[in-house]
């Protein structure tokens, strides 16, 4: 059975579900990737989020990455309205109160900084630059993954998220994958990069 374990990393495009099948009017991963039967996403990215997603049939990996006690670092590049102040970045880093499942939740300590000269390929469709003329890119590194957490955090400090890209999990990086690309990766390399 161990010999049948397979691992893929993908760059999930905007407006694609983190599941194989389509749902209502939304496309699933199966509409753009040919994935062997029994291979599933580890965790998820929201429909309107982009970036690094791991696909595998390794249940041990799924458990290890999704267990909150392991506190794996997840790195996001986030395009937000305006430019966060030092105080806003400090609030993101030190933890703040957001709502999860209708209840107040205090986020764990994180890392947050404004990215200078950020140049990521425009998504399709692009962010409305007329409606949002002033934006900046912020790097947020979390060790937890609550539902829509990054979006709730940036909104809380007055800088709503316009675009959200997961660019890394521990030492596993999205670059150089372009949106819609998939590559197979060995267990040894993947586990090393994920520090497992």
Residue pLDDT, tens place only, 125-183:
889 989 999 999 999 999 998 989 999 999 999 999 999 999 999 999 998 899 899 99
The pLDDT score that the predictor gives to residue 48 is 95
The pLDDT score that the predictor gives to residue 1 is 43
Beta 135-142 vs 74-81: how paired, if at all?
antiparallel
Which residues form the domain of 127? 73-169
Are residues 96 and 62 part of one domain? no
Are residues 87 and 45 part of one domain? no
What tens digit of pLDDT does each residue of 177-192 get? 998 999 999 999 999 9
Tokens coding 21: 């099948």
Are residues 157 and 97 part of one domain? yes
What is the DSSP code (8-state) at residue 107? P
Whether the model clears a pTM of 0.75, i.e. scores above it, the answer is yes
- Distance between CA atoms of 77 and 119, rounded to whole angstroms? 11
* 2 pLDDT above the threshold of 80: no
46 assigned to active site: yes
Say how many domains are in the chain.
Answer: 2
Are residues 146 and 89 part of one domain? yes
Residues 6+ apart with CB under 8 A from 125: none
Are residues 115 and 61 part of one domain? no
Q: Helix, strand, or coil here: 165?
A: strand
Q: Which has the closest alpha carbon to 176: 9, 7, 6?
A: 9
Are residues 60 and 9 part of one domain? yes
* 118 pLDDT above the threshold of 90: no
Q: Which of 46, 58, 171, 175 is catalytic?
A: 46
Q: What is the average pLDDT across 77-94?
A: 97
Query: Mean of the per-residue pLDDT values for the chain?
Result: 93
Measured in residues, the chain has a length of 196
Of 25 and 10, the one with more pLDDT: 10
């Amino acid at each position: 059975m161990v010999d049948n374990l397979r691992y893929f990393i993908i760059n999930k495009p905007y407006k694609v579900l983190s599941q194989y099948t389509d749902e209502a009017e939304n496309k699933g991963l199966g509409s753009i990737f040919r994935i062997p039967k029994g291979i599933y996403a580890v965790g998820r990215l929201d429909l309107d989020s982009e970036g690094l997603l791991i696909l595998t049939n390794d249940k041990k990996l799924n458990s290890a990455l999704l267990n909150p006690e392991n506190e794996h670092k997840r790195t996001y590049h986030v395009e937000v309205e305006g430019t966060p102040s030092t105080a806003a970045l400090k609030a993101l880093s030190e933890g703040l109160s957001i709502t999860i499942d209708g209840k107040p939740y205090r986020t764990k300590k994180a890392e947050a900084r404004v990215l200078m000269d950020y140049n990521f390929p425009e998504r399709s469709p692009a962010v409305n630059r007329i409606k949002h003329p002033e934006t900046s890119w912020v790097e947020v590194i979390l060790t937890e993954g609550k539902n829509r957490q990054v979006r709730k955090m940036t909104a809380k400090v007055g800088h709503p998220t316009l675009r959200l890209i997961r660019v890394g999990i521990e030492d596993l990086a999205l670059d150089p994958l372009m949106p819609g690309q998939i590559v197979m990766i060995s267990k040894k390399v993947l586990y090393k990069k994920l520090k497992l």
